[in-house]
Structure 1
Amino acid sequence: MKSANYTYLVKIFDAYQHYFEVQLEIQSNKQEVILNLPAWTPGSYMIRDYSTHLHQFSAIDKMTGRSLIYEQTGLHTWKVTTESNLTVIRYLIYAFEDYTVRTNYLVSDFGFINSAGLFLYEEGNINEPVIIKMDTSNYFSNIFTPLKRLEEENQYFANDFDELYDSPIHLSNQNSIFFEAEGCEHELFIEGNISFPFKEKLAADLKIITEKQIQLMGGSPNKYYLFILNLSQPAYGGLEHKACSVNYFSPEQVTDEDEYKKLLELLSHEYFHLWNVKRIRPIALGPFDYQVPNLTRELWIAEGATSFYDIYFLYTTNFLTKEEFISRLQSDIFSMEETDSETWMSLEDSSFTAWNKYYKRNGNSHNTSVSYYTKGGVLVLAMILFLLRETENRVTFLDILKSLYQKFHVEKQRGFTKLEFFDTAKQISGIDLKLEFERYLVSPIKFPIDHYLSFIGLTRIETDLIADIGFRVKEKNGNLFVGKLIGQIHSPSVDIQLEDEILAINGKRMSKLNFDRTEKQLRPKERVHILLSRFGQTKEVMLETGTTYKTKKFVLSTDIAPEIKRVQENFFLQK
């Protein structure tokens, strides 16, 4: 029988008012214990202040039943004065703030526990084992979690708090489906009103994708992996864990073929984190300090590489055609180039400031902030092509990742530094990637992706010059408002602001349909009259349209040199 000094009992306090109840029994000879609730969760790099939702904290001595003296000493911290070696802490967690992969959520239909937002830990004892008892069967018949099940019913074990916080818990009255891939048992659980044939199809498709990833990475580090997929409400997002991923997707979209491929892309992304991030990781991403930001400049490796390979694995398993694969790649490139943000923020700064910029976006973020997902993926694509050309198709980026896995995760049991990443790449390939790409990491400059795409004969085609009005709109209650300003289009003197209501363009009353039609009819460099409303007052503005291309795409050249043909074939035919 497993034993631990920290035993949690989780109950449903009120499913309709969205409260979990937690009782924590602590065995300790200390005269006082200091308890913390994490302020953030790994994989989602922003201070979340989970303690906002903690209520009715109390402490008693288990031997006498007397209430104990306690004091909240910080926003996430409580100090309890003990009397004996058995102390029971009780508190409620409100679980209805946001419907996301990183927050607690409880309704009468299902419950989701993001462990970092539910379980207190004792300061200084984060490496201690933990037992979780779930008393939720009156509401939910099934519990889905990667935590190890104990012999006692509905009891689970974590070797330490890092494992606990890396293990979500989903409560439901629905069942799961299983499949095996390369020696690893996979469990797929789907929340929502979804047919069993759909579950079977998704499981079969995931089997193909997971087998490919395991094969290309040289084996699975797991004997068990859990997919949690919530299709109960419109949402999108995923969060990786060491033996699990949590994914949210809109149920209305899964019957559409293109949207279904986006779901597979999401699941492929989170599954590849099984290696990249959860084991192959920048050194700052573990061990964690759950109270403060854990800063790193290498999220472009963690998320950028994963963002490239999520679609690459769909291509190599024939879920995407070559044309669809190229379309996905060019979509990221064009979105990156839509504004001048590359000249405002470097890729490393994008990673380092994720905590207060990427995850705290505002109406101007697209003009000033670079995505380490998008630009990181584009940079990794360029590295892949550069490696294939310079090593004559001998070394791939996956070879580097597998070497990092062996050297740092398996042998040294830690993450890697930026220098160690580039040293490993050089040892594997003989190529100095740092010399080639360093400036694009540290400096806010545009990335010359066309140069690297030429290594496989991909050429940019831009035709049909059209007007760009310089802002994007959103509809609220039937009215039209400025939702996004494209900073590089207008001169600074053009007085159009976010949240301005667009009343008319060139004298014509605007609706969303009329705006779309009008925008298509505008000519490049045309003078346009805008009637808008701001703070209850109307205002007239004149602007000159910018230019863009109606058709933008990358195409494969047919007349290419033999050395380019070899790199092209190697890149596209690794199946």
Structure 2
Amino acid sequence: MRRTWALRRILPLVVAPLLAGALAVGAEEPEPTVTPIRYEISFEGRDHREARVRLQVDDVGPGPVALRMSRTSPGRYALHEFAKNVYDVRITDGEGRPVTVERPDPHQWTVIGHGGAIRVEYTLYADRADGTYSQVDRSHAHLNAPATFMFARDLMERPVELRVRVPRGSDWVVATQLASTDDPTLFRAPDGHYFMDSPLEIADLDIREWEVQTEHGPQTIRVAMHHLGTEAELDLYARHAEAITHELAAVFGGWPDFEFDRYTFLASYVPWASGDGMEHRNSTVLTSNGSLGLSMTGLLGTLAHEFVHAWSIERIRPASLEPFDFEAANMSRELWFGEGFTSYLDDVALVRAGVIDTDEFVRRMGGLAATITEAPGRRFFSPVEMSMQAPFVDAATSVDPTNRGNTFLSYYTWGAGIGLALDLELRSRFEGLTLDHLMQEMWRRHGVVERPYEVDDVEAALAAVTGDAAFARSFFDAYVRGREAPDFAALLATVGVEWALRDDAPLYLGGAGLRFTDRGAEVATNTTAGDPLYEAGVDRGDRLLRLDGAPLTSSDALEGALAGRAPGDEVPLVIESRGEERTVRVILRRRPQWVTQPIDDAPAEAVSRRDAWVAPRAGR
């Protein structure tokens, strides 16, 4: 999620062939004229989740050189203290002589008296395979650059070389967006920013690839996968992935110009991985402990989401993330668009590519509408303001409890709902217009030329597409800068979909988790504003003892205590709260359950809109 560099194409680049021992993701480059920063990584300690990293910095001035481990990672917005997994650090000058090393903070090694050359070695402990961290074991090396490599703070504009020492006797090959060379173990980056944005998957990989014809010439998209599935399952996955990529190119009206003419999905689907997806300039990381056989649709959904980012965020880039800061949390006001609209478009891509059917797509849209409509967090923050919460919630952890269930609605979810609402509004209000046209306008204005955007720029693009600046302003004031929920029932009706609350849903006390024991039901999670327990003054840690005299020792006991009652009934509830037993009054209500289904006798115009909504666009 973060372009911080401009690739310098001094000479034309051509696609390099697949090299023995390495998956060439780019092209041969001329030798750099500036002394590169040189890295080497090896895996002698892989049995114990360790890698050994070596760093060579030459031709630097006489002043101190600040070497750092990143505190953040491209695509993440919160802090991640990667220095905690670095140890056995050895720093010398170019001749191996001792130098003075100062530690101004836990993340930095300031090298003094180096004589113009620095040599560094350290051990990295790595045991989490996801989009943020690294993992090294006997099966693979999954490397996220900021979690793996130190960088020289003031030398980020220098080119970079990386040599990968594959373990002897292994079948490991290297997949990466870094440029390949004639040496199958050596890779290059034009500068430190691109290097830090370049993950690697090193394993016995299965490869599938396809060529796409673009306005920039032929480009290759490939899947490099570490997995335990079958060849047939991988073939099916790749066919779906190819269809998804073409459908998304149709949404944006053209392909990105992938540097080195190649884009790689770096997939690791093994039981010891953690679920995640993380986009990068010319690649994306896909990890899961699910399998191709059991989790195909979900895995493809993540692939679709991350590939949207090849346009939105990587090239249609928020100004707030330009440049990306490797030393502090990165806050953005535009994530409702960059992440949220992406979360809508990934489902659009799945249905248009035939991965899911129309009924499943409609069901997902109804669930999205329900989440937004019911969310209590809309009282406190707009989608723009929710985006600014990312440093607190984006794979971030908190020791002290928070009240996020009542104050936060994910910018992924809320933004996806805004995308859904705007798509349906455009289809029903403006003849021939869809959300695709807005994305294409943003691509022309900000993606092709890579001109960073702000919230007002998205509104301006909408005004240009519709020719109605007043509509664009009112929509943004209500749903982007404001905190309103769109009228999803009316909007979904325009495409022949019913969306309504069930009037026969069961009664409940609220959505908080309950742990039943012979002493009653402990409230295990925060209660939600508007729920019966919340309104009665009950919250996490309290224990529900008796409802109208009935002991609450099991879920069946609670169900029995609610039997025969009606919405609006006020019932006495005895609770224990922080050592005090007291009685509160609970007003019962139905559990909110929504019906989402195509309307059988919908008007022909609505059915036509629904068909057009989900129809393939790629023309393949």
Is the TM value for this pair above 0.5? yes
Secondary structure at the residue paired with 2:97? coil
Q: Contact 2:60–2:116 at 8 Å: present in 1 too?
A: yes
Corresponding residue of 1:546: 589
- Residue 40 of structure 1: CA displacement? 0.8
Q: Which moved more, 1:23-32 or 1:82-91?
A: 82-91
Letter in 2 for 1:43: G
Map residues 168-567 of structure 1 onto 2, 5 A cutoff: 168-182=199-213, 183-221=218-256, 222=258, 223-233=261-271, 235-251=274-290, 254-256=292-294, 259-357=295-393, 359-360=395-396, 364-393=403-432, 395-411=433-449, 413-432=450-469, 433-463=472-502, 464-473=504-513, 482-490=524-532, 494-500=536-542, 507=550, 510=553, 523-526=566-569, 543-556=586-599, 558-560=601-603, 562=605, 567=609
Letter in 1 for 2:506: I
- Distance between the aligned counterparts of 2:480 and 2:304, measured in 1? 26
Q: Contact 2:223–2:238 at 8 Å: present in 1 too?
A: yes
Give the 3 Å change call, closer, same or farther, for CA 231–344 of structure 1 in structure 2.
same
Letter in 2 for 1:392: E
Q: Contact 2:251–2:439 at 8 Å: present in 1 too?
A: no
- Distance between the aligned counterparts of 2:354 and 2:333, measured in 1? 34
Q: Contact 2:43–2:165 at 8 Å: present in 1 too?
A: yes
Larger RCO: 1 or 2 (CA < 8 Å, sep 6+) = 2
- Distance between the aligned counterparts of 2:516 and 2:68, measured in 1? 41
Cα deviation per residue 1:4-53 (whole Å; 9 max; x = unaligned)?
43000112252233222211100123122112222111211111121222
Q: Which moved more, 1:479-488 or 1:331-340?
A: 479-488
- Distance between the aligned counterparts of 2:556 and 2:61, measured in 1? 68
Letter in 2 for 1:143: V
Q: Contact 1:143–1:169 at 8 Å: present in 2 too?
A: yes
Cα deviation per residue 1:114-165 (whole Å; 9 max; x = unaligned)?
1012222222322221101112323662222121112123111011122112
- Distance between the aligned counterparts of 2:412 and 2:465, measured in 1? 25
Whether 1:2 aligns to 2:41 is no
Give the 3 Å change call, closer, same or farther, for CA 198–574 of structure 1 in structure 2.
closer
Letter in 1 for 2:262: Y
Q: Contact 2:497–2:596 at 8 Å: present in 1 too?
A: no
TM-score, structure 1 as length reference: 0.89
Structure 2 gap ranges (5+): 1-29
- Residue 566 of structure 1: CA displacement? 5.5
Whether 1:92 aligns to 2:131 is no
Corresponding residue of 1:46: 78
Secondary structure at the residue paired with 1:262? helix
Secondary structure at the residue paired with 1:20? strand
Secondary structure at the residue paired with 2:426? helix
Cα deviation per residue 1:218-242 (whole Å; 9 max; x = unaligned)?
3332332222222212742211112
Q: Contact 2:144–2:200 at 8 Å: present in 1 too?
A: yes
Map residues 76-115 of structure 1 onto 2, 5 A cutoff: 76-96=107-127, 98-115=128-145
Cα deviation per residue 1:171-212 (whole Å; 9 max; x = unaligned)?
223433333344432322332321222111111221222222
- Residue 558 of structure 1: CA displacement? 3.1
Cα deviation per residue 1:346-374 (whole Å; 9 max; x = unaligned)?
11011012112455475531211121111
Q: Which moved more, 1:354-363 or 1:399-408?
A: 354-363
Whether 1:161 aligns to 2:192 is yes
Cα deviation per residue 1:213-268 (whole Å; 9 max; x = unaligned)?
2244333323322222222127422111122111222336x434xx4322221111
- Residue 340 of structure 1: CA displacement? 1.7
Letter in 2 for 1:380: G
Structure 1 gap ranges (5+): none
Q: Contact 1:280–1:401 at 8 Å: present in 2 too?
A: no
Corresponding residue of 2:23: none
Structure 2 counterpart of 1:69, from 100, 103, 106: 100
Corresponding residue of 1:124: 154
- Distance between the aligned counterparts of 1:358 and 1:525, measured in 2? 39
Secondary structure at the residue paired with 1:471? coil
Give the 3 Å change call, closer, same or farther, for CA 504–510 of structure 1 in structure 2.
farther
Letter in 1 for 2:55: L
- Distance between the aligned counterparts of 1:423 and 1:215, measured in 2? 22
Give the % identical residues: 19
- Distance between the aligned counterparts of 2:296 and 2:206, measured in 1? 21
- Residue 281 of structure 1: CA displacement? 1.7
- Distance between the aligned counterparts of 1:567 and 1:162, measured in 2? 44
- Distance between the aligned counterparts of 1:143 and 1:517, measured in 2? 60
- Residue 335 of structure 1: CA displacement? 1.9
- Residue 344 of structure 1: CA displacement? 1.9
Secondary structure at the residue paired with 1:136? coil
Letter in 1 for 2:161: I
Q: Contact 2:516–2:555 at 8 Å: present in 1 too?
A: no
- Residue 537 of structure 1: CA displacement? 9.0
- Residue 270 of structure 1: CA displacement? 1.0
Letter in 1 for 2:78: M
Q: Contact 2:58–2:118 at 8 Å: present in 1 too?
A: yes
- Distance between the aligned counterparts of 1:194 and 1:427, measured in 2? 48
Corresponding residue of 1:29: 60
Give the 3 Å change call, closer, same or farther, for CA 486–285 of structure 1 in structure 2.
same
- Distance between the aligned counterparts of 1:102 and 1:305, measured in 2? 22
Secondary structure at the residue paired with 1:16? helix
- Residue 279 of structure 1: CA displacement? 0.8
Q: Contact 2:510–2:533 at 8 Å: present in 1 too?
A: no
- Distance between the aligned counterparts of 2:557 and 2:228, measured in 1? 37
Secondary structure at the residue paired with 1:260? helix
TM-score, structure 2 as length reference: 0.83
Task: Name the count of aligned residue pairs.
Answer: 567
Q: Contact 2:348–2:614 at 8 Å: present in 1 too?
A: no
Q: Contact 1:142–1:175 at 8 Å: present in 2 too?
A: no
